[in-house]
Structure 1
Amino acid sequence: MRSANPKAGRHQHGPAAYPVEDLRKAEQQVMATLPEGALMQRAAAGLAVSCARVLRERTGGVSGRRAVLLVGPGDNGGDALYAGVRLVGRGVAVTALLTSEKVHGAGIHALAAAGGRCVEVGPETAVEAWTHLEAADLVVDGLLGLGGRPGLREPAAGLVDRIPDHAAVVAVDLPSGVDPDTGATGSSHVWADLTVTFGAAKACLLLPPASAAVGDLEIVDIGLTPHLPHEPLVRRLAAADVARLWPVPPPSADKYRRGVLGVVAGSAGYPGAAVLAVAGALRTGVGMIRYVGPKDATAAVRSAWPEVVAGPGRVQAWLLGSGVVPEANDDQPEAIHTALESGQPCLLDAGALGLFPEELRAHTDSSGGVPDRSDRLLLTPHAGELARLLTELGEEVHREEVEVQPYRHAHAAARLTGATVLLKGSTTLVVRPDGHARSQAEAPSWLATAGAGDVLAGIAGALLASGLSPFDAGSVAAYVHGKAAGRASGGGPITSMDVAEQVSSTVAGLLRH
C-alpha cells in the first residue's frame, strides 16, 4: 500500500458546490445576524469589483465604458442594480433593462439616484433596449437566480439572443436559464465569460451541461461557509486535492504492496482496447498486471508490455470489460463473472456494463433492495452506455436524455446498482448512490478520440488496486487523464496512446508541487 504525498495540502483546493436548500438555509442564518440589506451589499460590492476588472482587462479601462444590466425579479437583480451603482461611481455609463414588474425597487431607486438609466423592456421600448445592448462593453446577467428553471422566457430570451459578441458577459450567481441543482439547461440560457457567485458555488456551476456556460468562476465570500454542510453535493478536485489523494509508494514497497491489477479486456475484434487499458494502468504506477484475454489479444498485450503476466491469479482489484464483446464466442464473460464473484474491487467498463444487469438481478437482497456496493464497484459508462444500462434496469432512457441531464441519470444509475458511477464526457461526473458527486473538466476537446476511455479505465483500475475507493479512484483518474491529454495535445490532435504516454510525467508534476 502506498502512503499519502507528504507535500500535498499546501495549495488551494477545488471549489465545492451545494444545492439550493442548503444555500438558502445558510443565507437565512447569516441574514439573521446582519442589518437588513447588508448581505446584498456585500454581494454587490464583490460583483462590482469583478465587473470593473473585466472591463479593464477587455477594454483597457473602466471610466467611460458602457455596461448593461439585465435585471429580473429576485435578489440577483438587486445584486446587479447595486453593483451598477458602484460602477456609475467609477465613471461607467450604466443602463438597467428591467424584464419584470417585480424587480428590486430599492435597487432601481439607488441606481437612478446615482445617475444610471432604467428601461422597462416591452414592445414600445424594445428598440431602445436593443440599442443599449449593441453598444455595451459589459453585460451583467441578473435575470434569474436560485429560483430559476431551465430556459428563459420573453422578454429575457430575446435580450440574451441580442448580446453582442464583443461584450463581456458576467453572470450574477449563475447563468440565467439553467437549473440550479441539476445543471440542466433549456433552449435559451446565458453563456457567461465570468460567473460571480456568492458564499459558495451552486451545484449547477460544476454540473454539466450548465457548467459549460459558466466561463471563469469566482466565489465572493459573504460569510456562508460556517453554516454550510461539511460535505458539499459536488466538488471539483484541484491539483492539491489530487496530490493529497495520490498513493505514493513508501520505501518498503514491493510490487505486490504497490497493487496488483487484474485486467479482463479485449477480444478478437478489439485487441487494442486491452493494450490501451494496460498502458493507462502501467503508466499510473501499478505494481503488476495480470491479464486475462483471448489468444490474439494476449499476444498484442504481451508484445506491447512484456512485463504483464498472462492468466488469472491473486489481485487487489479488477478492470473488466474494455473491448469485450459479450456475444463473442470466447471466455471473457465467464472471466468477468468470476472477477465479480471474487469480492475484490472491480471497475466495469464497456462490455462488462452489458453483463452487469444480469449480475445485479442475481445478487439483489431478499427484500428486493439494492445493497450498497459503492465501496467496491466503479462503473465507467459514456452517455449511450448509461442509457442502455438504465433501460435494462427498468428505466427507459435515451442517450439524448442523459446528455441533457447527466447528473440526474448518473445518480439514478448509482442508486439502482448501488455502485459508484463515472459518467464520461467533456465534463466527467463521478457519483455515489447518496448523490454526492465530483465533477472534473480538465480535458481538451481533442480527447474525444477512440480508445481514450480504455486509458481512463486503466488509470482508475490501477488506483483501485492501490487502495483508493471507487469515488476517489474515479475522480483522481479523470483529473490525471484530462491533464495528460492536455500535455499530449499542446493545442492539437492526439491519439489515446499519446495520452497514456503522458500519464507518468503528469503525476510526477503533481507530486512535485
Structure 2
Amino acid sequence: MRTAYSVETVRTAERELMARLPEGALMQRAAAGLAAACADVLGRVYGSRVVLLVGSGDNGGDALYAGARLARRGAGVSAVLLAPERAHAGGLGALRRAGGRAVGTDGARELIERSDLVVDGIVGIGGTGGLRPEAVPLAEAAERARAAVVAVDLPSGVDADSGRVRGRALRADLTVTFGTHKPGLLIDPAREYAGTVRLVDIGLSLPEEPELEALQHADVARLLPVPRVESDKYRRGVVGIAAGSARYPGAAVLAVAGALRGGAGAVRYVGPAGEAVIARFPETLVSDRGPKHAGRVQAWVVGPGAGDDAATVAEVLAADVPVLIDADGLRLAEASAVRDRRAPTLMTPHAGEAAALLGVEREEVEGGRLSAVRELAGRYGATVLLKGSTTLVAGAGGGPVRVNPTGTSWLATAGSGDVLSGLGGSLLAAGLPAVDAASAAAYLHGLAGRFAADGAPVGARDVADRIAGAWRSVARG
C-alpha cells in the first residue's frame, strides 16, 4: 500500500529527524537520492548538460547539492537562481566547488533549450498558488525543450495537500519525492503534472494513519471474498439491482453484468427492464413487484438509468441493508433519508453529480477532488466514491481517503459507471465494509478497463467481460 501525508505532518517528522542528525545530513540524503534519479534519467552523466531551476527554499538546496554530485561526475551543470540573494548558501557553494556555475534568469531560456535535463527546484511543498510570473517563462522553456524534467519533491505550482493547480505549473517527467508521497502526487489535476513518481526513503518516522492510501494488488487480494467449502449462493450474499427504465434498459443490463462478476452468490433484478436483463443473463432472478417483494438481499444497488422513479429509490433507502446509490438515484434520493440510514450507504457520483449535491460548479469539484469527496461523505454520513480521472473513496466516519491507482482514460464511456455500481453492490452483499467494497470495486473496474482497452476504445460491456481477468490478476499477485 502506498500512503501520503500532509505537509504539516511531513514537516513535523523532518524537524524531529533533523534534531537527531548532524546539521545538513537530511538534505544530503535527499540530494543523494535526487542525484541518483537524475543519473538514471540521463543514462550517461559525463558530458551531459544539466540546468537547475533554483528557488529560495529547501527544494532549491536539494537541487544544488544534487547538481554538485552530477558535476563531480562530469556533467556541465548550470543553476538558474530565481532569487540569488536567498539561494541556499551551502548548496550553492558545493555546486561551485564541483565546477558548476550559477546564473540569473537572463539567458536562462536558451540554456534550458540546449540542456539534456532540467531539475525543478523552484517551489517546495509549502508553496500555494501557481508559479510566480518570473518563473513562468522558465517553465514554458522547459516544456518546449527536448530535455527531461525532474521535479524535486513536487512539481512547482501544484498544491501538495489538495492536488489543486491554481495557475501555471511545471510539468515533470519524473518527480523525486522524499520520505513519503504527498497527496497532490496521487490526485488529479496535480498528479498529471508529476509524471512518474520515485520515492526516496530519508528515514522519516510517520504516524500510523495517513491522509491518503493507494491500495495495491496484495491489499485488494486480501479484501476479495472467496467461497468456503460449505458456501452456497445465499451464504455468499445476494445483491438486489433496482435500475433501468423503459428509456434506459441498458443501464440495468450493465449493472447486472457488474454484479454477476462481483463475488455475490446471486443477483436479484427489480425494474422495468426485466426482459432485457433475462435475455442477456438468464441466471438473474427477475421480479417486477418492487424491492419490498423481491426476496431477501444482503445489499441493494439503486439508481442507474432509473429516470424519475423516486418511489423505488425511497423504498430501497428504507431497507435495513447496505445500499449503493448511483446516477439518477443520487438526484432522486432525499438527503435526510440518506443521513438517517442505520445500514451502510455508498454513494458513487461523478464530478457533475457531486457538484449538484454540493451546490457548486463542476469545475470546483474537479479542481479540488479531495475536499469535495470529504465534504460529501461528511454531509451525507455515507461512504463516497468520487469517480473521475482520479477515483477517491472517503469513509462516512472520516479516516484516510483512498485513491485508486488503476484505470484508463478509455473508461470514460457510457455505461462504465453502471458496471462499477453493480460490482460494488455485489461486494457489499458479499460482506465487505463500504470503504473496502468501494475501493476493491474501483481497483478491479480500473484494471478491467485497462485489460479491455489495451490502448484502444472500449465499451462498458467489454469492461464487464474483463472483470474476471482482473480478479484473477489480483488474486495471483
TM-score (ref. length: structure 1): 0.89
Q: Which structure 2 residues correspond to residues 150-229 of structure 1 after superposition, within 5 A?
A: 150-163=129-142, 164-224=144-204, 227-229=205-207
1:47 aligned to 2:34? Answer: yes
Q: How many Å separate the matches in 1 of 2:57 and 2:236?
A: 55
1:390 to 358, 363, 376: 358
2:211 to 230, 233, 242: 233
Structure number with the bigger relative contact order (C-alpha 8 A, sep ≥ 6) is 1
Q: How many Å separate the matches in 1 of 2:338 and 2:299?
A: 20
Q: 2:312 is matched with which residue?
A: 335
Q: How many Å separate the matches in 2 of 1:154 and 1:509?
A: 48
Q: 1:510 is matched with which residue?
A: 474
1:83 aligned to 2:66? Answer: yes
Q: Deviations over 1:214-233 (max 9, x none)?
A: 11111111111xx2111211
Q: How many Å separate the matches in 2 of 1:55 and 1:76?
A: 20
8 Å CA contact 2:326, 2:349 repeated in 1: yes
Q: Deviations over 1:70-119 (max 9, x none)?
A: 11111111001000010001111111111123221111111111110111
1:319 to 276, 301, 304: 301
1:259 aligned to 2:237? Answer: yes
1:118 aligned to 2:82? Answer: no
Q: Which structure 2 residues correspond to residues 272-287 of structure 1 after superposition, within 5 A?
A: 272-287=250-265
Deviates more, 1:303-312 or 1:333-342: 333-342
Q: How many Å separate the matches in 2 of 1:273 and 1:191?
A: 38
Q: 1:8 is matched with which residue?
A: none
Q: How many Å separate the matches in 2 of 1:364 and 1:508?
A: 36
1:289 aligned to 2:267? Answer: yes
Amino acid at match of 1:509: S
Deviates more, 1:494-503 or 1:202-211: 202-211
Distance 1:455 1:364, change over 3 A: closer
Q: How many Å separate the matches in 2 of 1:390 and 1:154?
A: 34
Q: 1:498 is matched with which residue?
A: 462
Structure 2: give runs of 5+ residues left out of the alignment: 288-293
Structure 1: give runs of 5+ residues left out of the alignment: 1-13, 327-331, 366-370, 392-396
Deviates more, 1:436-445 or 1:482-491: 436-445
8 Å CA contact 1:411, 1:435 repeated in 2: no
Q: 2:427 is matched with which residue?
A: 463
Q: How many Å separate the matches in 2 of 1:384 and 1:78?
A: 42
Q: Deviations over 1:395-416 (max 9, x none)?
A: xx01111111111111111111
Q: How many Å separate the matches in 2 of 1:364 and 1:475?
A: 21
Q: Deviations over 1:149-204 (max 9, x none)?
A: 13101211110011134111111101110111100002310111111111101111
Structure 1 runs (4+) greater than 3 angstroms displaced: 362-365
Quote the offset at 1:259 in angstroms. Answer: 1.3
Quote the offset at 1:388 in angstroms. Answer: 0.7
Quote the offset at 1:285 in angstroms. Answer: 2.9
Quote the offset at 1:31 in angstroms. Answer: 0.7
Three-state SS of the structure 2 residue aligned to 1:453 is: helix
Q: 1:376 is matched with which residue?
A: 344
8 Å CA contact 1:322, 1:351 repeated in 2: yes
| Percentage of pairs with the same residue | 54
Q: 2:291 is matched with which residue?
A: none
2:86 to 102, 124, 131: 102
Q: How many Å separate the matches in 2 of 1:338 and 1:512?
A: 40
Q: How many Å separate the matches in 1 of 2:56 and 2:439?
A: 38
Q: 2:281 is matched with which residue?
A: 305
1:70 to 53, 67, 77: 53
Amino acid at match of 2:362: R
Three-state SS of the structure 1 residue aligned to 2:269 is: strand
1:268 to 209, 229, 246: 246
Q: How many Å separate the matches in 1 of 2:37 and 2:244?
A: 51
Amino acid at match of 2:299: A
Tell me how large the CA RMSD over aligned residues is.
1.4
Three-state SS of the structure 2 residue aligned to 1:69 is: strand
Three-state SS of the structure 2 residue aligned to 1:483 is: helix
Three-state SS of the structure 1 residue aligned to 2:168 is: coil
Quote the offset at 1:336 in angstroms. Answer: 2.0
Q: How many Å separate the matches in 1 of 2:367 and 2:228?
A: 44
TM-score (ref. length: structure 2): 0.95
Three-state SS of the structure 2 residue aligned to 1:510 is: helix
Amino acid at match of 1:118: A
2:380 to 410, 417, 421: 417
Q: 1:35 is matched with which residue?
A: 22
8 Å CA contact 1:208, 1:407 repeated in 2: no
Three-state SS of the structure 1 residue aligned to 2:176 is: strand
Quote the offset at 1:363 in angstroms. Answer: 6.8
Q: Deviations over 1:350-394 (max 9, x none)?
A: 1110122x2x335767xxxxx8x7x71111001110011112xxx
Three-state SS of the structure 2 residue aligned to 1:94 is: strand
8 Å CA contact 2:338, 2:381 repeated in 1: no
Amino acid at match of 1:272: G
Q: 1:482 is matched with which residue?
A: 446
